[in-house]
Amino acid sequence: MNRYPMWKYILILVIVSLGALYALPNIYGQSQVVQIKSEQDETIEQATLDKVANVLNDNQVAYEAITIDGETAIVQFADLDAQRRGQDALKEGLKGFDTAMNLRPNVPEWLKGLGGKAMNLGLDLRGGVHFLLEVDMQEAAENKRKQIRSDITSLLIKSKVPKKRISWTGNELNIQFRNEADMQKAMKLIDKDFEELTLRENVGVDTFEITGLLTEQSINAVKENALNQNLTTLRDRVNEVGVAEPIIQRQGLERIVVQLPGVQDTTTAKNILDATATLEYRATHSYNEAAQQIYATGRTPPGTTLYFESNGNPIYLKNRVIATGNQLTGAQATIDQSGKHAVNVQLNSVGAARMLEFTKNNVGNFMGVVFKERIPIGKNEDGVMQYRNKEEVISNASINNVFSNRFQTTGRFTQKEAAELALLLRAGALAAPVQIVEERTIGPSLGQDNIDKGVMSVQIGLAMVLVFMLFYYRMFGLIANIALTINVVLMVACLSLFGATLTLPGIAGIVLTVGMAVDANVLIFERIKEEMRGGNTIQGSIKEGYDKAFSTIADANVTTLIAAVVLFAFGTGPIKGFAVTLSIGIMTSMFTAIVVSRAIVNLIYGRKKKLKSIAI
């Protein structure tokens, strides 16, 4: 009656064994480390490790080990004080490298080879920086309007349809033509390629105009796309820096949360996150010709703009852009043949074709590179984001030969400036500017204190539950305690395997799950006692207790799981952490409370045909 076939016992043993194996990495603890990464993305070699060791020895900072992990050097320290002194020494004495304090799990290599890894720790447990970024949605909509205007202008030029004027008034695009025939041709072309515009014709005595309304639905789509593109770009930028387990997610309709565990240098992080830098490649207009034009007419030559180089020298560039930073597919900091810092650039097919066409016809002429940056300076009284535009010609070099998708941009770069520019170009430009509206830094010592208190809370809660169950239900209480311990092990194993991030609310979810897991056994045991009081046999009572309590347990856990899924879907940050641990705990507790505990009961009592009493 109360017996499992052998395959069930084997399956349970395999699951529990695997759970114990993949929960094992968490008992090895973590070491205080400093991560070192080249600003020029160079490979870390043994010479670099020797230089690191020399810097630490010169500053009398004790360290445990220096190893290479991919493109990063890892220096391991015995305690937090040594880590801080090591970080300060390396930041001062190791030029050309970025350093960051972090925590690193001490998982043995054999366990790593089996796929074992410790749980990821959130910002509140690990320390690091937290940013709340606000996306400038008005700027996103303005960028979309500029893009539509430029694309329609190019389309009409390509199709040889002349226009008189094209301009935006709010969300209405007005295009004027000289006659009705041109207007009708343009109407067909624009209606075909620009679905986001609602078009209408305005025909008067001397007026032939097309009005295109950018609908509210299209504006909302622009804002959604801007937020999603910014999320992708920010993830790329953070990945380039090499931060372990970053959290980058949207909050509401206009904000993005960025959490960088282990990072303590907020200045570097801020420069990477809110930078909107890009490049534009333009033809250089002859300075002498421009000066003559200005002298004769008082105006700059048509189709040109006055810029200034970093040394203050004026330079005239043509307005037509050959290629932009948005067309870059790769960028690496390097040193050119003359020993100057430079950036190697790769363009996509569109940018490469335009660069090839331009250089074919302009060998011997000059091409300028404009560095453009928009720096947020806060909101005005109306709540509109204000910016300071920075535009500077960083290079004005002669075109010595024909090139297309691969070439080198030189300028008056320092080593760090070249590395930062290459990083920003690789990661891409933001679809709309962002402003940091909230910034918090959490130290590693506070994180360790949180870990210690969180672990203590789980231990105390678990111990109290174990003592109560053993005292009140005796042998069945011991069985429930074994199942409960296995449940905690399986929960930790799942969090480690799935790469979930453990936060303080996540620890609260584990403590709550401990109580919920034992609650299922309480329902089963009370049902067994009720069946025995009703005159049922002991074996029959055990069977009925597990069978009849199952529906009640399932209902309670499914409703809690639904609540956890809703929390995960609509919550952010800590709420998601709580929902993840709660969801995993519900599923593991169902398995241990019903399947594992019954397997143990069956092993102890199932083969005894005549039972006079049980310890419950």
Return the amino acid letter for 12: I
Banded pLDDT at 180 (limits 50, 70, 90): confident
Query: Which of 17, 53, 35, 151 is closest to 100 using CA atoms?
Result: 35
The stretches of 194-311 forming alpha helices (DSSP H) are 216-241, 266-273, 287-297
Coil, strand or helix: which one is 535? Answer: coil
Q: Give the percent of the chain with pLDDT over 70.
A: 86
User: Tokens at residue 493, please?
Assistant: 């194993």
- Residue 113 predicted with pLDDT over 60: yes
pLDDT given for residue 149 in this prediction: 84
pLDDT given for residue 374 in this prediction: 66
Asked whether the beta carbons of 186 and 200 are under 8 A apart, the reply is: no
Same fold, 6-25+443-605 and 277-429: no
Domain 277-429 adopts which CATH fold?
Gyrase A; domain 2 (3.30.1360)
Asked whether the beta carbons of 261 and 254 are under 8 A apart, the reply is: no
Q: How far is CA 77 from CA 135, 342, 466, in A?
A: 39, 36, 38
- Residue 267 predicted with pLDDT over 70: no
Q: What is the pLDDT of residues 323-348, one digit of tens each?
A: 876 677 777 777 877 777 778 888 87
Q: What is the pLDDT of residues 40-68, one digit of tens each?
A: 556 777 888 888 888 888 888 888 888 88
Indicate the DSSP class of residue 309: B
Mean pLDDT of all residues in 437-456:
72
pLDDT given for residue 213 in this prediction: 87
Banded pLDDT at 142 (limits 50, 70, 90): confident
Strands 172-177 and 208-214: antiparallel
Mean pLDDT of all residues in 202-217:
83
Q: Give the DSSP per-residue string, 379-418.
A: E-TTS-EEEEEEEEEEEEEE--S--SSEEEEE-S--HHHH
Query: Residue holding tokens 């019954």?
Result: 598
C-alpha to C-alpha distance for 451 and 542, rounded to whole angstroms: 41
Query: Which of 251, 247, 234 is closest to 501 using CA atoms?
Result: 247
Q: Give the DSSP per-residue string, 451-519.
A: HHHHHHHHHHHHHHHHHHHHHHHHHHHHHHHHHHHHHHHHHHHHHHHTTPEE-HHHHHHHHHHHHHHHH
Planar angle of CA 45, 49, 50, nearest 5 degrees: 115
Query: Bigger pLDDT: 367 or 121?
Result: 367
C-alpha to C-alpha distance for 260 and 273, rounded to whole angstroms: 11
Query: Which of 95, 119, 80 is closest to 36 using CA atoms?
Result: 95
Q: What is the pLDDT of residues 481-538, one digit of tens each?
A: 888 889 889 988 988 888 777 777 878 888 888 777 788 888 888 888 888 888 888 8
Mean pLDDT of all residues in 185-212:
84
Most confident by average pLDDT, 193-197, 355-359, 428-432? 355-359
H or E element in which residue 359 lies:
helix 349-361
- Residue 160 predicted with pLDDT over 70: yes
C-alpha to C-alpha distance for 493 and 500, rounded to whole angstroms: 10
H or E element in which residue 57 lies:
helix 46-58
Asked whether the beta carbons of 171 and 219 are under 8 A apart, the reply is: yes
Mean pLDDT of the chain: 80
pLDDT given for residue 106 in this prediction: 80
Q: What is the pLDDT of residues 117-135, one digit of tens each?
A: 888 777 777 777 888 888 8
Output the CA torsion sign for 566, 569, 572, 575: positive
Query: Which of 89, 96, 97 is closest to 54 using CA atoms?
Result: 89
Q: How far is CA 120 from CA 249, 255, 453, 492, 584, in A?
A: 17, 24, 17, 11, 15
Residue 366, Cβ neighbours under 10 Å: how many? 17
pLDDT given for residue 14 in this prediction: 92
Residues 113, 116, 122, 126: what is their CA dihedral angle, to the nearest 10 degrees? -70
Planar angle of CA 260, 346, 286, nearest 5 degrees: 115
pLDDT given for residue 35 in this prediction: 79
Q: What is the pLDDT of residues 538-551, one digit of tens each?
A: 888 888 888 888 88
Selected from 2.60.40, 3.30.1360, 3.30.310, 3.30.110, the CATH number assigned to the domain covering 138-219 reads 3.30.1360
Q: What is the pLDDT of residues 275-307, one digit of tens each?
A: 666 678 888 887 666 666 665 666 677 778 888
How is the chain split into domains, by residue range?
6-25+443-605, 138-219, 277-429
**Please, which residues bridge with residue 306 across strands?**
316
Asked whether the beta carbons of 168 and 213 are under 8 A apart, the reply is: no
Mean pLDDT of all residues in 336-362:
81
**Please, which residues bridge with residue 573 across strands?**
none
C-alpha to C-alpha distance for 184 and 210, rounded to whole angstroms: 9
**Please, which residues bridge with residue 502 across strands?**
121
pLDDT given for residue 524 in this prediction: 87
* Alpha-carbon 507 to chain mean position: 23
**Please, which residues bridge with residue 251 across strands?**
255
Query: Residue holding tokens 């003559």?
Result: 292
Domain 6-25+443-605 adopts which CATH fold?
Multidrug efflux transporter AcrB transmembrane fold (1.20.1640)
pLDDT given for residue 569 in this prediction: 80
